[in-house]
Amino acid sequence: MHPTDRPRRLRRDGVRSLVSETDLDATDLVAPVFVDATTDERVPIESMPGHERVPVDEAVPRVEEVLSTGVEAVMLFGIPESKDHEGTRAWASDGVVQRATRAITAETDATVITDLCLCEYTDHGHCGVLEDEARDDPTLTVDNDATLDLLARTAVSQAEAGADMVAPSSMTDGMVGAIRTALDDAGFDDVAIMSYAAKYESAFYGPFRDAADGAPAFGDRRHYQMDPANGREALREVRLDVEQGADVLMVKPGLPYLDVVRDIRREFDHPVAAYNVSGEYAMLHAAAEKGWLDLEAVAQESLLSLKRAGADLIVTYFAESVAPEC
199 given a catalytic annotation: yes
Among candidate residues 83, 252, 290, 307, the one labeled active-site is 252
Q: From CA 242, how far away is CA 223, in angstroms rounded?
A: 22
Terminal CA-CA length for the chain: 40
Q: Which long-range contacts (CB under 8 A, 24 or more apart) does 283-292 make?
A: 285/48, 285/49
Q: From CA 108, how far away is CA 165, in angstroms rounded?
A: 16
Is beta strand 165-168 parallel, antiparallel or unpaired with respect to 313-316? unpaired
252 given a catalytic annotation: yes
Residue environment code for 63-79, b if the CB has 16+ CB neighbours within 10 A, otherwise e = beebbebbbbbbbbbbb
How does DSSP assign 204-266, residue by residue? GGHHHHHHHT---SSS-STTTSBPTT-SHHHHHHHHHHHHHT-SEEEEESSGGGHHHHHHHHH
Q: DSSP label at 204?
A: G
Residue environment code for 178-189, b if the CB has 16+ CB neighbours within 10 A, otherwise e = bbbebbeebebe
Q: DSSP label at 190?
A: T
Known catalytic residues are 199, 252
